[in-house]
Structure 1
């Protein structure tokens, strides 16, 4: 998946500014697709130049005009084209796994410290995802039905974090043997 398609998906639901998109990334897609501020603004410019987006300038008193982007018909067609294509399974590049793989060349204390930092991040992420799930489950059935597919991505995130933490317990047990 590319950033351009993530942006098209977000704008398909609702027009917005670059700032709005960054907030939507953080609140939703950001759990499984990350984008930096500069990347989003650069991609918005490219998508606009490609004719997939258009924008309307909205005047602001103390800041430059805000651009509110929306999909054009060709942007919608590109999104539908992409949605119809198969995607490649995700490959991971995980520096922690490389460090653990090379663990014989460092101290167990170093590895345990590194694992503890990662465990804290994964626990915090899991807590956040579980909170979102509780909010979802508290919605009326009609709203839950409308959000059922995004909910499945949430479930993937929850299961992934739980699995990661279970694996981290195995690593801790193995490191404790040293």
Structure 2
């Protein structure tokens, strides 16, 4: 998936400013797609130049005007074209796994500390996703039906975090045993 299609997907549901899009990436898409502030704004400019987005300027007090982006008919056609294409399976590049693979060469305490840092991050992410799930489950049934597919992407994020933590439960005793020897 490309950043441009993630942005088009967000804007297909409602117009938004660049700031709003960055916030969406951090809050609701961050468990499966990440984008930095600068990347989003660069892509918004390119999408506008290609005619896939339109924008209206909104005046703000004590700040520069804000651009509110919406998907254009051409952008909607591009999004539909992309949605019809097959997507390759996700490939995993994980530096932590490389470190563990080479663990016999590493200091055991360093690997334990690294795992602890990663565990804390995964716990925080899982807590955040579970909070989003609680909000979804509190919606009226008709809204839950409308949000079912985004909810299923959320479930993938939750299950992924739970699986990572279960895997860490297997790894950490092995690392602890190495620090004792």
Give the Cα separation in 2 of the matches to 1:118 and 1:2.
Answer: 26
CA shift for structure 1 position 101: 1.0
Q: How does 1:52-131 map to 2 (within 5 A)?
A: 52-131=52-131
Give the Cα separation in 1 of the matches to 2:16 and 2:130.
Answer: 27
CA shift for structure 1 position 61: 2.1
Deviations 1:12-53 (A, max 9, x none): 000111011111111211121000010000000000000101
Q: How does 1:15-26 map to 2 (within 5 A)?
A: 15-26=15-26
Give the Cα separation in 2 of the matches to 1:24 and 1:49.
Answer: 23
Deviations 1:70-99 (A, max 9, x none): 111000000000011110100011111111
TM-score (structure 2 length as normaliser): 0.96
TM-score (structure 1 length as normaliser): 0.97
Give the Cα separation in 2 of the matches to 1:131 and 1:54.
Answer: 33
Q: 5+ residue gaps in structure 1?
A: none
CA shift for structure 1 position 2: 0.3
What's the counterpart of residue 6 of structure 1?
6
1:174 aligns with 2:174: yes
Give structure 1 regions of 4+ aligned residues with deviation exceeding 4 angstroms.
none
Equivalent residue pairs, number: 178
Structure 1 window deviating more from structure 2 (43-52 vs 168-177): it is 168-177
CA shift for structure 1 position 176: 2.5
What's the counterpart of residue 134 of structure 1?
134
